[in-house]
Amino acid sequence: MPRSTAIVLKGYPRLSETFIAQEIYELERCGLPVTIVSLRQPTDARIHPVHRKIKAPVLYLPEYLYRQPLRLFRAWFRVRRRPGYRRALSIWLGDLKRDRSANRVRRFGQALVLANEMPTGVEHLHAHFLHTPSSVTRYASILSGLDWSASAHAVDIYTTPDWEIVEKIADCQWLVTCTDANRRHLVDLIGAEDRSATKIGLVYHGTHTAGFERARQAPSQRDGLNPSDPVRILSVGRAVAKKGFPDLLHALASLPVELNWRFTHVGGGEMLGELKSLAARLDLEDRITWLGALAQEQVIEQYAEADIFALACRIAEDGDRDGLPNVLMEAQSTGLACVSTCISGIPELIENGITGLLVDENNPAGLSRALNRLIIDPARRGELGARAAEYVAERFEFASCFEGLAHKFGLRDIVKVETVA
């Protein structure tokens, strides 16, 4: 039987977390009563169409405690008499001893407010991401007496201290993660013999393949020999360290000078200025178009115009990495031949030489060779793209992936999912 659930997010709505919004929308449609709890106010100028379809009320917790002291004091005054307060306080103090940060203090303050302002009827808590949202959810769970669950993704798994992950999984009711690489990492961290390991499940996010299939075009015959019709290379992703865009730019700069190609980047991000400067130093300015962040429909148009999709994912210095980038699934759904790196869950999507090409991370030379092979061989691009589209439709269609998540929430009668693009 589905229980009314408060879903805790770091921020809502967010364009970069459309996959979460899609899950929430489908859970609502299948009958799960949902309240959204956001730790931050929205910052994106635009929203995805799926956000407009979600009916769940949103509770915004105080983003900065000092700005709402009365709200915080009122929460503490009311919650301090609850049976779970002493245990929650003890756990938080133990966490604070190991992580003496303002963020840790803020997490407990937000948990107090959530426990105090919990909407009537909420029976379960669910956190997206194992770091901050799960901390707030865990403390609020103890304060309110409600059980909780979590979805783990990528940055949260690999940048959260091991001790904290182990304790959170021991405390939660169940946890799902979006790649088998993540699942194996978490099981290894806990120990396969530990009972908590049985709580960890694999649920791919999946993608609405029908929403991207309409962008599928007959493979072009561009082979890099015609200056007036260059091969079109596309990448979509925020300009952050884990996306490896410097490696991709160096790879492009290493391509044979006689090849004709154009590169288009879609996405914002803190490193965008650095990437543009690097492109200038590599003498690539005339071959690159920087489009910035685009709405989904505009991104689909870019997939339709491209010949090759490239994403040079890498593990950042702080351990952050992609899990299984949605843009790779989207690109493959449109029939694009993809070049990426063999980290994290990417090999679960791309089988090297069969459904795309993979190279080691931090390997611009290998990336350049892979791009070169696809630029000069349109037939090969077509074969890889066709097999990739079939594989995504077979294994990563959103509807089939969503069923595993819906069952976790106690939903048994799954309504046919909608394509929201």
In this predicted structure, what is the pLDDT of residue 418? 60
- What residues of the chain score a pLDDT lower than 70? 413-421
- Write the CA distances from 2 to 21, 34, 122, 370, 411, integer angstroms: 19, 10, 11, 48, 6
Hey, what CATH topology would domain 5-206+397-408 get?
A: Rossmann fold (3.40.50)
Q: Where are the domains of the chain?
A: 5-206+397-408, 209-395
User: pTM of this prediction?
Assistant: 0.90
Provide the pLDDT for residue 297. Answer: 86
Asked if the domains 5-206+397-408 and 209-395 are classified in one and the same CATH topology, the answer is yes
Q: Retrieve residue 294's tokens.
A: 């685009």
The pLDDT score that the predictor gives to residue 294 is 87
Q: May I ask the CATH class of domain 209-395?
A: alpha beta
Is there a contact between 337 and 384 (Cβ–Cβ < 8 Å)? yes
pLDDT in tens, 318-355: 999 999 999 999 999 999 999 999 999 999 999 999 99
Percent of the chain scored above 70 by pLDDT? 98
Question: With helix as H, strand as E and coil as C, how does the chain read?
Answer: CCCCEEEEECCCCCHHHHHHHHHHHHHHHCCCCEEEEECCCCCCCCCCHHHHHCCCCEEECCCCHHHCHHHHHHHHHHHCCCCCHHHHHHHHHHHHHHCCCHHHHHHHHHHHHHHHCCCCCCCEEEEECCCHHHHHHHHHHHHHCCEEEEEECCHHHHHCCHHHHHHHHHHCCEEEECCHHHHHHHHHHHCCCCHHHHHEEECCCCECHHHHHCCCCCCCCCCCCCCCCCEEEEEECCCCHHHCHHHHHHHHHCCCCCCCEEEEEECCCCCHHHHHHHHHHCCCHHHEEEEECCCHHHHHHHHHHCCEEECCCCCCCCCCCCCCCHHHHHHHHCCCEEEEECCCCHHHHCCECCCEEEECCCCHHHHHHHHHHHHCCHHHHHHHHHHHHHHHHHHCEHHHHHHHHHHHCCCCCCCCCCCCC
Q: For the segment 60-94, what is each residue's pLDDT rounded down to a tens digit?
A: 999 999 999 999 999 999 999 999 999 999 999 99
